[in-house]
Structure 1
């Protein structure tokens, strides 16, 4: 082959290789563009999923292996308390199962279950009638207690003898209205912004403290106007002439003094045997201090402390609840109550606790307006007796 032919063939080869190179470069470029487009779309999808995850904090059931509904509510409540972000909590309203319990139509949001349980635990363990009374949860604005004051009667008869008609029992209806109890703790926004600050524990403690003090007083002396009606707000008559609707009292025989303590024994046996098995003494610290000094004829103290941790002190073998809202010993004072308070006093409440965040009224602080609805009243006037520090 001539030199000219060789050069022509070489040029064609170079041209072919150039075309192949350009094709390969174009293919690589297409692959790179497709990869970039895939990465871009994947990143956008990931961002959308992250946003959806933040907004999906709700009380709705989640897939197996996911976050528990209680944890979801807790996270949503934390976001609301710290920054006022309502989106997550309002998202719970979309769940049909949660619409009636999460968002309050009057304003405010349901406190998360963990915080709510903490508050209820403190209330139940506090020095209050609540610790020994009957507590019921209701969804209505009041709760009716039906009390059978008498006995339908019974009788013995032989196989063919005539049966006499038994009496009709007397049924009394006691209506316990629910009232709104509120607390308004406050904190600085700087403190709320501190992620190391346990906001739920702090809020639960402040609310529980306010609620427990208000309840304790109302269950003893409340007048029933916008608050529960306390045991001492009812009329008290000498137990010898006791009638339904009043509490019976036993006088100590000495004005403003316990005397030799025999009145305590009379108080115990003034209560019916069906109530004594579950009875408790209720008094304040000053009265408890005075009774600790009492001794029997053999010089033994009538008061005994519990041997086990957490066991209440005992007086004449019965547990003692120290409630500071009971009156001090004084002339004519009903300073000691004794009875089966589980039967004798009923507390009705709605199970939900709600809180409304207010960052405007007390700048630079944030107010938390917490509310619950609770009522209480004597439900069996035969189940509670009083000790009156008087001659008669």
Structure 2
């Protein structure tokens, strides 16, 4: 087949469209912000579909050349890489718009309308953040018998601010958003898990009753809590500005760095100095359920899918998960693995990866939603690269937060900046080893 691709014919500037700029610059005021965001999401969604259509056409041409000449035109490879970047960019842009739409307006002491103690705590915390006066805040926390005193390394942030910080981190952290979440006040979370179900027998109405069936057996799963900290700096000039929302600054300073650190630990954490990662449980080399280890299957080729019928492995992975669990299952991998999967087809020649069906939705793979997590391993020839996971992660993994985010103000170490030592306690652990399976990219 003759190569029909001509770079000169690629007149559509996808990169410019990926910027998502409105065609109506006048529609940018606060009164029309929501309307503009809707237009921007719709435009970005259309650009994503257009880019994906170009991608599939270009990849079809590449596959045809490979079949004829055992090699493809380098220009086609370059175009595919460029379209990959555009598709990923549009997906990120849609996710950012979704996050913005979920952000709630911040309450103020004048508009809260909540309990006076909560408003008083917020006001005292604001005073401490701005000028370091802690007398009122200390008295309030002692009155409430709080453990978050200066002796423990800081003062507790107001409940509303803590809720907002956790909500922002959840929106940014891919694992938090798909795992189950709990809040506790102790040092760890313990949960009994059934390891052996009781037997059952059929009995006739007049039959003699048999010996009692085997008893149910439990195993305690424990999620330990670890401390995560950040040390953002703010200028005193900014703190002196009465119009500045200090809580907003605090949330914005820590949300990204906390989400980044958590996301890495929830996947690959060692369980001793950080949360246990969902890839760090005991793993066995079959898709069988054991209740004590995670099932897996190998691709048979180091760092890649097999040259033919690569999608068959994904089918095996899907049906390695029990039917009841599969109803809420999804795929989990990073963007580089996602780029490789976009090129795969099923036995009927259909692409198995599909873009979101609507703005705010997830991409899908073989009919199941996809979650992209940057800290998932790459498809490499490294030892045991579990680059793809599939299952119900809400059932399989739990994130546990200890109530209370504390802040300690330090105006001395980095003059003229004021440092804020912010700590939160969080843990994570595997709850159900049979809830998900892994694809191992090794021979």
- In the alignment, what sits opposite 2:334? 284
CA distance in 2, matches of 1:251, 1:359: 54
State the SS of the aligned residue for 1:233. Answer: coil
1:114 aligns with 2:165: no
Matches within 5 A, 1:1-392: 68-93=116-141, 95=143, 98-100=144-146, 103=149, 105-164=151-210, 165-239=212-286, 243-259=290-306, 260-331=310-381, 332-391=384-443
**TM-aligned CA deviation for residue 80 of structure 1:** 0.8
Aligned equivalents of 2:115, 2:136: Cα separation in 1: 15
SS of corresponding position for 1:218 = helix
Is 1:180–1:372's contact at 8 Å kept on the other side of the alignment? yes
* Offset, 1:294: 1.4
Q: Deviating runs (4+, > 6 A) in structure 1?
A: none
Contact 1:294 1:302 in 2 (8 A): yes
TM-score when scaled to structure 2?
A: 0.70
Is there any run of 5+ residues in structure 2 with no aligned partner, and where?
1-112
Contact 1:127/1:321, CA 8 A, preserved across alignment: no
Deviation larger for 301-310 or 318-327: 301-310
Does the CA-based 8 Å contact 2:232-2:253 persist in structure 1? yes
The answer for the alignment partner of 1:38 in structure 2 is none
CA distance in 2: counterparts of 1:66 and 1:212, whole angstroms: 29
Are the equivalent residues in 1 in contact too, given 2:410–2:420 (CA < 8 A)? yes
For residues 262-302 of structure 1, the C-alpha deviation after alignment (integer angstroms, 9 at most, x for no partner) is 10010000011121111121111111111112112222211
**What is the TM-score with the length of structure 1 in the denominator?**
0.78
Q: For the structure 1 residues 205 and 243, does the alpha-carbon distance in structure 2 shift closer, same or farther, using more than 3 Å as the test?
A: same
Shift of 1:135: 1.0
Q: CA RMSD in A?
A: 1.9
In the alignment, what sits opposite 1:29?
none
* 8 A Cα contact 1:219 1:231, kept in partner: yes
Q: Is the 8 A contact 1:104 1:110 kept in 2?
A: no
Seen in structure 2, the aligned counterparts of structure 1 residues 317 and 68 have a Cα distance that, compared at 3 Å, is farther
Q: Number of aligned pairs?
A: 325
Change (3 A) 1:372 1:295: same
Distance in 2, matches of 1:374 and 1:146, equals: 20
